[in-house]
Structure 1
């Protein structure tokens, strides 16, 4: 699942491929925005953790699940 995170006062967005479902990501973002958690913490498909202070979030874009692309003609 591709996730794009916009951070206030940062020139670039954070892009990661998450192993979590869209529902899990949405729940985690909602907890951060409602104050239940001071940090937004997501894990990518390689096990690396991305942590962003909740008060610095500008937006979170949750994309479609991506399939594996193999070869030159894969679309």
Structure 2
């Protein structure tokens, strides 16, 4: 199951949003390593296999959660 990750970057008005096939625990460990100084870059792989690299010193916040389910069709409001 895909996990949605939102990364806030310093001095940028927009956040980076990645849907990753990695487990939430694996992403949390990568974030902790980057923010703890073990890794200079936060490296994540999205669902299509593309790698997203963010310099650790530029990270403002990271939000890890499940992706929103897209609803199809019409429903009562």
Question: Which TM-score band applies after superposition, normalised by the shorter structure?
Answer: 0.7 to 0.9
- What does 1:42-57 correspond to in 2, within 5 Å? 42-57=44-59
Name structure 2 gaps, 5 residues minimum.
none
In structure 2, C-alpha distance between the alignment counterparts of 1:16 and 1:32, rounded to whole Å: 17
Name structure 1 gaps, 5 residues minimum.
none
In structure 2, C-alpha distance between the alignment counterparts of 1:65 and 1:23, rounded to whole Å: 16
Q: How many residue pairs get matched?
A: 73
After TM superposition, where is structure 1 displaced by more than 6 Å over at least 4 residues in a row? none
RMSD: 1.8
Instruction: Give the match for residue 30 of structure 1.
Output: 32
Greater radius of gyration (CA): 2
Task: Quote the offset at 1:46 in angstroms.
Answer: 0.4
